[in-house]
Structure 1
Amino acid sequence: MSTKSTLNVIAAYDKVCAEKAELAQEGSNFAADRNAVARQIRKLHPKRLTLTVGEIIRETSTACSLRLLSDDGSPLPPFQAGQYINLFLTVDGVETARPFAISSAPQSRDYYDVTVRSVPGGFVSPYMVGEMFEGQILQSSGPMGSFYYNPLFHGGDLVFLAGGSGVAPAMSMIRDIINKKRPLNFHLIYGSRSTDDIIFRQQLQALAEQHDFLTVDEVISEPDADYTGHTGYLSAEMIQRLTGDVDGKMFYLCGPNAMYDFCKPELEKLGVPGRRVRIEANGPPPAPQKLTGWPQGLETSKEVTVTVRGRGQFKMPVGEPLLNAMERNGYQAENACRSGECSLCRVKVLSGDVFNPPQSHLRSSDRTFGWTHACVAFALSDIEILI
C-alpha cells in the first residue's frame, strides 16, 4: 500500500488536504484573529486543567477510580487510550504531583477516570484512595504520554501484560477498541497477588464474554485454596502458554517497577524484539542500589547536602529521588511522568555526583552539560544544582 493510500484512510485527511490547497491559493495575513492558532493549541494541549472529583468509584478494598469533571462543564481535551494526566496535590503539607493513567474511554469527553491502587508505604496513593472526597478541586496537566496504540506500527495482534493499577490504560484501550469497532485482537494477561487485588474484574470478565476480540487471563501468585485459574508469575513459560506463538505480536507492559524488572527479561527469552515491546514506566526505581553503576558499598541511608544555587540547601538520603527530596523541602520543578521520560524536571548539576539509572533517558547534550532528570536522579555526594 502506498503512503498516499495509507493516509487516505485517516479520518478527515482528504478534507484537510483540500483546505490546505485552498489556503495556498488564497493566502492569509491572519489579521482577522492573530491568536486563533494559539487558542486552539491551548484548548487541545492545556498546560493546566481545573478538575472536580465528581465521583469516587470503589474498585477493590485497596483501589478506586476517581471520576474527574471539568470545572466549567466543557468537554475535556482529547486523549489517546493509554495516556495519562499529572495531578498536582498537597499531601501532609508537601506540594507534589503524580501521573495517573486514564482508564475511561477517549470518547467520553465529559470526564476522565483515573484508577489508583493504594501502595503500602506509599506517600501519595494512600491519600488518593483513603482521603480524597467528592467535590474536591484539583489541578492537572493535559493528557500526555506515548504509551498508546499506533495503528501504523503496532499491527492487529496486541498482548497487554498488566499488574496492579497498570490495568488502567488497558481498560481505556479496550473501551476504545469497542467504541471504534477496530479489527484487533487484544489479549490482557493480568498478574495479581490475589483475586481480591484484581481491579475491574467483573467488568473485564463481562467484556470478554461479549466481545470476540478480547481475551482476559488472570495469573495469581498467592491463590486461595479454592482458586482454579492460572497461578504463578508472568514468566516466559506462562506468557507463551497463554499467547502461543509470539511472532508478530505487540506487547504492552504496565505495572509496578518490580514487574518490569521481571517481565522484560522473560520476553527477551521468548525472542520478542525490543521494538515489539511498549513499556509504560511507573515511577523511579525503588532500589537504585541494585542497579548497574551504583557505587559499591554506598548505603541508601547515607545523608548528603543539596545546595540550590541562590536559594538555600537541604539534606537528603542518597536513596531518595532528587525530585521527591526537593518537593519535601519546598523546592518545585515542573514535572509530569516522574519516570525519566518527559524531561520536564531537568535540573543542572553544578557540582557533585549524581546517579542516573538507565530509565532516565538522558540525551547526550544533558550528559555533556550536566543536566539530570530529577525525578529519577539520586545524589551520591554533596551536590549543587540550578533549578
Structure 2
Amino acid sequence: MTYDTVRETDPAVADALEGERARQNDTLAMIASENHVSEAVMEAQSSELTNKYAEGYPGERYYGGCEYADDVEELAIERAQELWGADHVNVQPHSGSQANMGVYLAVLDPGDKILSLDLTHGGHLSHGHPANFAGQVYEVEQYEVDAETGYIDYEGLADHAEEFDPDIIVSGYSAYPREVDFERIQETADAADAYHLADIAHITGLVAAGVHESPVGVADFVTGSTHKTIRAGRGGIIMCEEEYADDVDAAVFPGSQGGPLMHNVAGKAVGFGEALDPEFEAYAEQTVANAKALGDRLQEHGLDLVSDGTDNHLVLVDLRPSHPDTTGKAVEEALEDAGIVLNANTVPGETRSAFNPSGIRAGTPALTTRGFDEDACREVADLIYDVVDAPGDEDVVAKVGDRVDELTDEYTLYE
C-alpha cells in the first residue's frame, strides 16, 4: 500500500502514515493486543464504504442506498456465526469496550451490580474501573487472582458473588495468561441469579480456532475485539442467544452509537473469511506454541512469570523477584529503543503505580503473523532478557537493536 494520493493532498499526514508503516516493518510488535492484518483487510477498510451511512441493520436501514452495505454486514455476521457457533451476532460495535457497553445497556439499569476482575490482576477498564463509564454508572466490586499462584480463585469468586449478589459477572481478561474455565464461572453466575458476560477480546482468534475453550453457548453474552488474535477489521463484536438479540441490537443502535463504520465492518468480513481458512488454525496453534517458548526461555533466564507460565498468547513477567529495582516502564522504554515494542503492566500484588508498574506483558500474535516459530521466539526472549538485565546500558540496547534489524529483514511484513 502506498500513500501517493495522500501525499499530493497532505504531505504531513503522508509522512506520518509512511513513518508508521516503516515503524511496523522495522520493529517487533509484542503488545499482546496488537497484530498485523492482511493487505486485503486494510484495502477493505479503506473502501468507499467509509462514505456510507447505514444506521439500522440489514434490511431495516434508516437510509437508502444500503444494498451493498447490507451484503457486507450479512457476510460478516454469517462468517462470525460459522467461526464461533453463535446464535446471534452483532458486528457493529466500534470497539470491544463498546461491545461491553452494549451488553450492559441491554440488561442492566443504572446502579445495578457488576462483579469483575480487578484491573491490576488482569481485568479491563470497561469491566468497571472507576475511570470508565462502567464504574461510574454501575456499582462494581472486583475479584482477584490468587496472589501465590496467579490463577483465578474460582472458589473466592463464588464466595464473593454469594456475598455481593451481582446482576452480572464479567469473565475474560486483558492480562491473564491462563485458560479460563467459563463453565465454572457460569455456575457461579447461575447460583447468584446473575448474567455472565465473557469478554474474549484477547482470545477471539484462539477460540475461533479451537485452541482455547469457547464461552459461546455457555455464557449469556460473549464480547470481543475483532483485530487482536482474529486479525480482522478493527472493532468489536457481541454474540448471544436469540432471546437476547433484540435487546442487544437496540443497545448498540441506537442505544450506544449511531451509524456503523461500514468500512470497518467490511474489514471484519474479510478477516473472518480469512479465519475460516484451515491455515488459520495452524496460525493460532503456532501463536500459543510461540508464547510458551517465549515464556519458558524467559524463565530459564531467571525471570518470574505470573502463574508460572502461559496457556495462551501472552506472558506476564513480574520483575520484582529477579530485578527489584527495575520497573516495567524502564524496560518498556529501553526495549522500544531496541525495536521491541511491548508494554509495562501491573502484576498481582502490585506495589508500584499503574503508570510505572512492576511487570511487563509480551504477546506473540504479531510475531506469529510475521512468520516467527518457537526458535525465533526463544531468541527474542534472549534479547528481551539482555535489556531487562541492563535497561540503562546503551551498548546492550544498541546490540539488541542491531539483531532486531536483522530479524525484521528476515521476517518481512508489508512491502
- Pick 1 or 2: higher relative contact order, CA cutoff 8 A, min separation 6: 2
Q: Which has the higher helix share?
A: 2
TM-score by length of 2: 0.24
Larger-gyration structure (1/2): 1
TM-score by length of 1: 0.26
Q: Which has the higher strand share?
A: 1
